[in-house]
Amino acid sequence: MSIHRKPIFLQTAVVALLLASAQAGAEGTQANTGWPISSAIETETGGQIPAGAHGILHISAPREATLLQLRGVLGSGDVILRNRSSRDCLTLPVRFIAGDFGGDNISIHSGESIRLIIKSARVAEALADGDDVVSDMYRISSAEDDPDADIIVQSGLSDGHGFVINPGSSVLADIIGAEVTQVKCSALQGV
């Protein structure tokens, strides 16, 4: 490398570093305009995201079917997420399917309401982007104080269930994307 090229290379590197720092600073500022993760928030529709969580999923009336040892759960519901860029929350419809080997007969009936707490920003971003969330790809726990969990199972499922969360209310949403809606939310007092 000649002597004349070294200063040009160094100048280019310095400019690139400064531009990258400015962009990172701008992204950090934008990310801080939403609700802090340390505060619990409630939407105008009554959904509550606990402190330390990025969102919640609620399936109110799942159907459960068992065939001897196989057990499956199917339902649809909503996900409520913190909005990183504003103090609104995001809601989107989801389809949910789960299964395990906890069956002991042949039946179809209504299952217990399912509630999952989304602790990981990675899971929240995947859902907001319309990507499927498969339980095998994340750390799932039923212990609410598990610091390493991506998703906490609060009710409706056992630790043995594997599941898929599919954003959107129909197969058409897989093609055009799930409808994400902004809703007003506010900090919960005394939580």
Q: What is the DSSP string of 13-29?
A: HHHHHHHHHHHHHHHHH
Answer yes or no: is pLDDT of 143 > 80: yes
What residues contact 72, with CB distance under 8 A and at least 6 apart?
A: 64, 65, 66, 97, 98, 99
Which residue has better confidence, 109 or 187? 109
Answer yes or no: is pLDDT of 20 > 90: no
Answer yes or no: is pLDDT of 95 > 90: yes
Which residue has better confidence, 182 or 152? 152
How far is Cα 81 from Cα 43, in angstroms, rounded to an integer?
Answer: 10
How far is Cα 178 from Cα 108, in angstroms, rounded to an integer?
Answer: 29
pTM (two decimals): 0.74
3-class SS of residue 149 = coil
Residue 23: CA count within 13 A, CB half-sphere: 6
Q: Which amino acid is it at 101?
A: F
Answer yes or no: is pLDDT of 25 > 90: no
Average pLDDT over residues 40-54: 84
Answer yes or no: is pLDDT of 13 > 50: no
pLDDT at 176: 61
